[in-house]
């Protein structure tokens, strides 16, 4: 279903992140933020799993699109 599918895609995005494939990870995250689930601003901004992507322009763009108005 859509929820489990999002979990699988997030797992794949994490694997891409750990293996240094930042473009692929960012592409999946861009897709994930359009799906119901728990991929959200706080999780991407703060969770240590995503630390290798911090500072990467595509990842920061995703975070900025999810940020609350007062933070942008």
Q: Establish if 26 belongs to a structural domain.
A: yes
Domain that holds residue 36: 2-66
Q: Establish if 55 belongs to a structural domain.
A: yes
The tally of domains found in the chain comes to 1
Two structure tokens written together for 6: 């999002």
Q: Establish if 6 belongs to a structural domain.
A: yes
* pLDDT at 17 exceeding the cut of 70: yes
pLDDT band at 35 (very low <50, low <70, confident <90, very high): confident
Q: Establish if 9 belongs to a structural domain.
A: yes
pLDDT for res 36:
79
Spatial distance between the Cα atoms of 13 and 44, rounded to a whole number of angstroms: 12
Q: What pTM does this model have?
A: 0.87
pLDDT for res 1:
64
Question: Using an 8 Å Cβ cutoff, are 53 and 41 in contact?
Answer: no
pLDDT band at 54 (very low <50, low <70, confident <90, very high): very high
> Where is pLDDT greater, at 15 or 6?
15
Spatial distance between the Cα atoms of 13 and 42, rounded to a whole number of angstroms: 17
């Amino acid at each position: 279903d859509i929820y489990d599918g999002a979990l699988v895609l997030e797992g794949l995005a994490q694997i891409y992140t750990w293996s240094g494939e930042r473009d692929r990870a960012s592409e999946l995250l861009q897709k994930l933020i359009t799906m119901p689930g728990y991929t959200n601003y706080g999780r991407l901004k703060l969770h240590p799993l995503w630390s290798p992507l911090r500072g990467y322009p595509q990842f920061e763009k995703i975070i900025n699109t999810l940020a609350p108005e007062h933070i942008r």
